[in-house]
Homo-oligomer: A and B are copies of this chain.
Amino acid sequence: MAEAQKYLPGVPDEEDEIEAASFDPRLEQEAERIAEALVFASAQPVSEAYIESRLPRGADVHGIMLRLKALYAARGVNLVQVADHWAFRTAADLSFVVQTDEQEVRKLSRAALEVLSIIAYHQPVTRAEIEDIRGVQTSKGTLDVLMEAGWVRFRGRRRTPGRPVTFGTTRDFLDHFGLEELRDLPGIEELKGAGLLSGRVPSNLNIPVPTGDDELAENEDPITQLDLEELGLLTPKGEEAD
């Protein structure tokens, strides 16, 4: 409370005058109120750059946000950082009171959860690498589910032959799991330290990897519709076989 008091209007703050000598403390106070109002009014995290664009020129936006964060730390509503964005969220320890019946949290299959974690800890990661870690093929739709949830995205392409697409997590992922940044992933430092995120099997030998049914060997031609009809695997006329 004593800390909060410091930022309440009408309470002069000598410390600020020393640091931000050029910036009027009352303007600073006003900037704080604006930042607070902006973030409070939004359900989505608001970027620091956007907040800055709405503040009086010269305001130290990051300093303001950190002060607000400290101010709200002990309250029922906290100011949290999500990557370079800010959002107000109810305090986690109050979940039991706020909980309603209508809460909807996406249920993930075991496979989807595993793929999500692998993407989170190993990003940027290709599909082949995910499969190498799990030792099984990723079923169609698993990645789709994660992308539809807005937690996983195409990040870019690896600069290796074939330029495979790499996957990564989104800001919504951080927001959903209450992470400020990827470095906050539980145990990531230990895993890195143990060499478990290097992605390199410490040997020049690879044990069998799943045979991707999507990839063709070099000496293979793709199977065509015609082939399938010929083999009797598909009724003619291109009807959907299911």
Contact = CB atoms under 8 A, between A and B. Distances in A.
Interface of A: 1, 4, 7-10, 29, 32-38, 40-41, 54, 71, 74-77, 88, 90-91, 93-94, 96-98, 127, 138-145, 147, 153-157, 163-165, 178-180, 183-184, 186-187, 189-190, 192-196, 198-200, 202-203, 214-215, 222, 224-225, 238, 240-241
Nearest to A154: B186
Tell me the number of copies of this protein: 2
10 contacts: A32-B76, A36-B77, A37-B98, A38-B76, A54-B97, A138-B193, A143-B195, A144-B196, A164-B190, A189-B214
B143 A77 contact: no
A140 B190 contact: no
User: What is the interface of chain A mostly: helix, strand, loop, or mixed?
Assistant: mixed
A168 to B, nearest CB: 10
Contacts of A76: 32-38, 40
A37 to B, nearest CB: 4
Contact of A192 (B156, B157, B189, B214): B214
B189 A202 contact: no
A177 to B, nearest CB: 9
Contacts of A97: 34, 37-38, 54
A106 B193 CA distance: 22
Contacts of A8: 71, 74-75
A139 B237 CA distance: 32
A193 B90 CA distance: 38
B91 A194 contact: no
Given A140-B195, A142-B195, 10 more contacts: A33-B74, A37-B90, A37-B94, A40-B77, A127-B190, A153-B178, A156-B179, A165-B193, A203-B222, A203-B224
